[in-house]
Structure 1
Amino acid sequence: MKKAIQYTTLLFTCAFALGACEKSELVDYNQPDMIYVFKDFDSDVKDSASYSFAIKDESLQYDTVFVPVRIMGTAKDFDREVKWAPVDSLTTAVAGTDYEILPAKVPAGAFSANIPVKVLRNTAMKTNEVRLMVEIRQSKDFAPGISDANGSSWYMPGASRRYLVKINDFLTKPNNWDSFLKFFFDTFSQVKYAFIIKVTGRSEFPSGSTGLPYAQFVYYETVCRNALAEYEAANGPLIDEFGNRVTF
């Protein structure tokens, strides 16, 4: 009798589940296609990018900063336009003098893209950093996506409609100095950074999942310590722009 009750209950449960499945239907995505700035949790430049011509060759007069974007919706079998524009109230850079907004698109079949912003070198940047706040605008293919969502982990990235690009021609603190580089090179100064560049032969030190291996940073720290000891033996302490002795 007990087994009969169990079988009856099982059959009733299966019949109910099948009935529920018959009533359920897949819902197509019918929202307008949207696009947003992708903020990778592990990226040093997820909210903004600082571009310094000071770490580039003197002959370089322009370069390109790329802003990662992702779509909300489905991929298409044709290229789609992404429209950008500066936010005037938050921008000090001058169009045609400091930057150019280049044509941007999401390629056919793609869910993401890197949007180019052309940065231009000029003498005023030797002493003055300019700021360019770019914003996603409505295009014929995309509406602006998520306005502001801060990612909390690698599996929960953030999103925005805006991205800040800072442009100069003097040595500035790298985006990942306070979060990573300081554990190897200690306090930032322009004098120290120039010394590091000269000694290591590198001007950029990316970290994170796509950056340099941890052991490489340990190696660079050792190289800098030894080079500084040699410098001090020949010249005395290296003093930075704040009047402090450079140490590692």
Structure 2
Amino acid sequence: MKYLTILFLLVFAIGCKKDDIPTFEGRDGISFFIDYYENPDSTNYSFALQPTVKTKDTIFIKMRLVGKPASVARSIKLKALAGSTARPNVDYILPEVKLPANAIFVNYPLVVFNTPEMLNKSFQLLLGVDPGSELVPGAPGVAVDLSRNFAKMKVNITNQLIEPDYWQNLTFFFGDFSIVKFKFMIKVTELTNFDPNVVDIGELFLIQVNLKKALSDYVQLNGPLIDEFGNPITF
């Protein structure tokens, strides 16, 4: 059985002959990737949103093979690209890891540190695959399942309240994101994580009802709650 894991090929014409189908040639590579419903080529991490105080943490970044699986493990080296503001060995560490034998996917463990400056600043880290890695930078593109490969990945690291990656899945319940809204939600619910993968749909509906009631009580006492964009908060 021939494995073909290069995933940037789009739909072929119906009349395409078997001999016309291109096959992968060249050195095997590794790419960042996201599923079709996820935010493109970026991830946000805030120590302020963690359930406990942390001095360091690990962000797992999804990567996949562009090429053919091998019977041996192969090394993956990442590097910071131009435009990064995060400081190596201060705000983050890039460990060398291996793609396991016969594997296609790996979660790269980016280690980040909670530095004092993050209370007032967000640091940006632009990641790319080091060409000196055993697995070279893989080609970007779109797979048939609409997942996407990227040559680089942007990671925003801070200890401030920022928009979580999962917020796009919450707009039905809570509307557009704002820091003022998020602070109000945390104060009312005493939660910092509203990820639908953690909080089920039924609980999200209940949270929405409780937030509407809490906001109504707030408005009666104080007038409209205005966000940083000058808009009144609604749920």
Q: TM-score, normalised by structure 1?
A: 0.75
Q: Tell me by how many angstroms 1:48 deviates.
A: 0.4
Q: Tell me by how many angstroms 1:61 deviates.
A: 0.9
Q: Which of 15, 24, 27 in structure 2 is aligned with 1:32? A: 27
Return structure 1 stretches of 4+ with deviation > 6 angstroms: none
The AA in structure 2 aligned to 1:141 is E
Residue 222 (str. 1) matches residue 209 (str. 2): yes
Residue 199 (str. 1) matches residue 188 (str. 2): yes
Q: Tell me by how many angstroms 1:201 deviates.
A: 3.6
- Cα offsets for 1:158-215 (capped at 9, x unmatched): 11120000011111122343x34233212432221012123334323335xx575444
Q: Which of 71, 74, 77 in structure 1 is aligned with 2:71? A: 77
Q: Which of 121, 125, 136 in structure 1 is aligned with 2:118? A: 125
The AA in structure 1 aligned to 2:205 is V
Structure 1 portions without partners, runs of 5+: 1-23
C-alpha separation in 1, matches of 2:223 and 2:131 = 59
The verdict on how the C-alpha distance between 1:162 and 1:171 changes in structure 2, with shifts beyond 3 A counting, is: same
1:18 is aligned to: none
C-alpha separation in 2, matches of 1:72 and 1:150 = 12
**Matching of residues 181-196 of structure 1 within 5 Å:** 181-196=170-185
The AA in structure 1 aligned to 2:129 is I
C-alpha separation in 2, matches of 1:180 and 1:32 = 38
SS across alignment from 1:75: coil
1:138 is aligned to: 131
Q: Is the 8 A contact 1:76 1:109 kept in 2?
A: yes
Q: Tell me by how many angstroms 1:84 deviates.
A: 0.3
The AA in structure 1 aligned to 2:188 is V
C-alpha separation in 1, matches of 2:190 and 2:41 = 28
C-alpha separation in 1, matches of 2:26 and 2:183 = 51
The verdict on how the C-alpha distance between 1:187 and 1:71 changes in structure 2, with shifts beyond 3 A counting, is: closer
- Structure showing the higher helix proportion among its residues: 1
The AA in structure 1 aligned to 2:73 is D
Q: Percent identity?
A: 31
**Matching of residues 92-241 of structure 1 within 5 Å:** 92-139=85-132, 141-146=134-139, 148-149=140-141, 155-177=145-167, 179-207=168-196, 213-232=200-219, 237-241=224-228
Residue 49 (str. 1) matches residue 43 (str. 2): yes
C-alpha separation in 2, matches of 1:39 and 1:228 = 36
Q: Is the 8 A contact 1:192 1:246 kept in 2?
A: yes
Q: Tell me by how many angstroms 1:119 deviates.
A: 1.2
C-alpha separation in 2, matches of 1:34 and 1:238 = 50
Q: Tell me by how many angstroms 1:30 deviates.
A: 5.4
The AA in structure 2 aligned to 1:205 is F
The AA in structure 2 aligned to 1:55 is L
C-alpha separation in 2, matches of 1:186 and 1:145 = 37
Question: How many equivalent pairs are there?
Answer: 216
Bigger shift: residues 191-200 or 93-102: 191-200
Q: Is the 8 A contact 1:136 1:162 kept in 2?
A: yes
Structure 2 portions without partners, runs of 5+: 1-18
Q: Is the 8 A contact 1:82 1:139 kept in 2?
A: no
Task: State the structure with more CA Rg.
Answer: 1
C-alpha RMSD of matched pairs (Å): 2.9
SS across alignment from 1:90: coil
- Cα offsets for 1:131-179 (capped at 9, x unmatched): 0001012345312111x3256x7x13211120000011111122343x3
Q: TM-score, normalised by structure 2?
A: 0.78
